[in-house]
Amino acid sequence: MSNPRYAVTGANGQLGRLVVAALATRVGATAVAAIVRDPAKAAGLFPEGVAVRKGDYDQPQELATALAGIERLLLISSNTVGQRTPQHRNAIAAARQAGVSRIAYTSLLRADISPLGLAAEHRETEAALAESGLPYSLLRNGWYTENYTASIPPALAHGAFIGSAGQGRIASAARIDYAEAAAVALITDEAPRVVHELAGDASYSLAEFAAELTRQTSKTIPYVDMPEAAYAAALVGAGLPEGFAALIADSDAAAAKGALDDQTRTLSRLIGRPTTPFATTITDALRG
């Protein structure tokens, strides 16, 4: 019988799986619970010994049951943009009901002042945490390098990497970097309110990203900068829903004004190593 002390919601997502693995390495698999909507689909995703429990942001009572006995919870932000705030409030209420003693939440870099459209729901969730009375940690994650490596296949197919970030600098980090930071913070944070502004050690422009892609593939892949509306329309043309395409284009436009840059190196200090260079993440993506 295991008695998990730590839990991760949305644990079967790309970030969640990495956090669960990082926690298992640090505290032992039997001390970790992975909360997922459908446990049947989670077979083989986690280290042996991790408890898999059923929990859904839209079912607070079910989630409270899943959190029984948990001391520290990582609340990974929902991927349902537009419904995040009520879903996160459900999770916070469930955590209080279950007696969780601390919540860490995956927010957005400088969420309190960020111009990104994505920031609004993160600010609302941060406010809900402050109102909860529970000790909490804010993991204000910067951009994931994988957000851009996901665009490599169409860039190679069409011979151009498109965006709307101008010459803006982007201090992204790999998903594994943020996952390790989440594990460390969840285990070690003690103050009633802790804020971690997290981003990569080095920044780059999308022109530099495209140049590195060109170097690694030996194909000429220029960066083509577009007006925000034109970029959003191109994303819709590629099959993305209009609302999501608009958010991506908005994020690029904000990056052009410095919203995704950061020089603090808080992330590398927290994980005890340099963050993953964007060139390495490109290499990994090309390897498949």
Secondary structure in 3-state letters for the chain: CCCCCEEECCCCCHHHHHHHHHHHHHHCHHHEEEEECCHHHHCCCCCCCCEEEECECCEHHHHHHHCCCCCEEEECCCCCCCCHHHHHHHHHHHHHHHCCCEEEEEEECCCCCCCCCCHHHHHHHHHHHHHHCCCEEEEEECCECHHHHCCHHHHHHHCCEEECCCCCCECCECHHHHHHHHHHHHHHCCCCEEEEEECCCCCECHHHHHHHHHHHHCCCCCEEECCHHHHHHHHHHCCCCHHHHHHHHHHHHHHCCCCCCCCCCHHHHHHCCCCCCHHHHHHHHHHC
Could you tell me the two tokens for 237? 């043309």
- The pTM score is 0.96
Mean pLDDT of 29-43: 95
Mean pLDDT of 227-256: 94
Q: What domains appear along the chain, each with residue ranges and CATH number?
A: 6-141+175-198+264-271 (3.40.50.720)
CB contact set of 75 (below 8 Å; sequence gap of 6+): 9, 88, 91, 92, 95, 103, 104, 105, 106
Contact (CB, 8 A) for 286 and 184: no
Mean pLDDT of 100-112: 98
Asked if residue 1 has pLDDT above 80, the reply is no
Which residues in 254-278 are b (16+ Cβ under 10 Å) and which e?
Answer: bbbeebbbbeebbbbebbeeebbbb
Asked if residue 268 has pLDDT above 60, the reply is yes
Query: Could you tell me the pLDDT band of residue 2, with boundaries at 50, 70 and 90?
Result: low
- Give the whole-number percent of the chain exceeding pLDDT 90: 95
Query: What is the residue whose two structure tokens read 């490599």?
Result: 152
Asked if residue 265 has pLDDT above 90, the reply is yes
Determine the length of the chain: 288
Query: Could you tell me the pLDDT band of residue 23, with boundaries at 50, 70 and 90?
Result: very high
Q: Cβ of 194: how many Cβ atoms within 10 Å?
A: 16
Instruction: Give the tens place of pLDDT for each residue, 39-86.
Output: 999 999 999 999 999 999 999 999 999 999 999 999 999 989 889 999
Contact (CB, 8 A) for 235 and 249: yes
Asked if residue 91 has pLDDT above 90, the reply is yes
Question: What mean pLDDT value characterizes the chain?
Answer: 96
Distance of alpha carbon 175 from the chain centroid: 7
Query: What is the residue whose two structure tokens read 């498949």?
Result: 288
What's the confidence (pLDDT) of residue 81? 86
Q: Identity (one letter) of the amino acid at 205?
A: S
Neighbour order of strands in the sheet with 6-8: 51-54, 32-36, 6-8, 72-75, 102-108, 136-141, 193-198
Measured CA to CA, the distance from residue 181 to residue 161 in angstroms comes to: 30
